[in-house]
Amino acid sequence: MNPDQLTIHDRLHALADGQLDAEQSRRLLAEVEADIGLQKELCDIQRIKHLVKSSYPLPAMSSMGKQRQRPQAWQQAAVYALVFGLTFLAGAGTTEYLPRLWQAQTEGLTLENAAAHDNRFIVFLDSHEPVKLEKALVKAETLAQQVEHKDGSVYVVTSAEGIDLLRLGTTKHEGRILQMSEKYPHLKFVACSNTLYSFKQRGELVALVDETEIAPSAVEFVVDHMRAGWRYIAI
């Protein structure tokens, strides 16, 4: 589907996910600059995205090497610059749920005792670095084991480069993912539709590991679940 045929709400999320090209971003930002309501909505989306990216319910394990620069990096920087400017002009926007998201960070929560604090977790992955792919699977399986008898659920949500975890022909973990999915029915793997569409725009057809679920926007999926009380783990 052409991004211009999407609702404005979906296009704003696609922009936040870094899945619009330069011309699409330019046109959308022109709309935003002329509409105070869109300015506030984009502020909310980007502030929540920043919050999601900086939330670490579980301790960071070790510092990562420098990530490869992504093609959309300059777009992201431009959007953030615009958003901070708009936040000053348009006001703080909607913040009613931000304190609850911060309060979700429970002191003493570790991977080993996570199930003692909750039974619903999201593992978010937006990098294809091998060490991060491995960490995502280890954390997901550990959590799935812990919540297995607590009527719990675990989602592994992939976006941007992280979708390589589920991409056939690229992933080295297909068999492992299928085994985990069969062993833990409450463990689900999710791919971002905006990311898939960006591949399609470049003429690349992406086949995913069986049982992969599709979310329109990874950011929106994570935020909606955090609002509902799920805990978020960044990789």
What pLDDT score does 223 carry?
78
Neighbours of 78 (CB within 10 A): 15
Could you tell me which residue, 93 or 193, shows the higher pLDDT?
193
Residue 127 has pLDDT above 80, yes or no: yes
Q: Does residue 153 come out as left (phi exceeding 0), alpha (psi in the -120 to 50 range) or beta?
A: beta
Least-confidence region, from 3-12, 23-32, 163-172: 3-12
What pLDDT score does 57 carry?
46
What pLDDT score does 176 carry?
97
Q: Which residue has the tokens 């062993």?
A: 183
Whole-number Å distance between alpha carbons of 224 and 126 = 18
What pLDDT score does 218 carry?
85
| Mean pLDDT computed over 13-22 | 74
Percentage of residues in the chain having pLDDT higher than 70: 67
Q: What is the pTM of this model?
A: 0.62
Note the Cα 185 to chain centre separation in Å.
Answer: 22
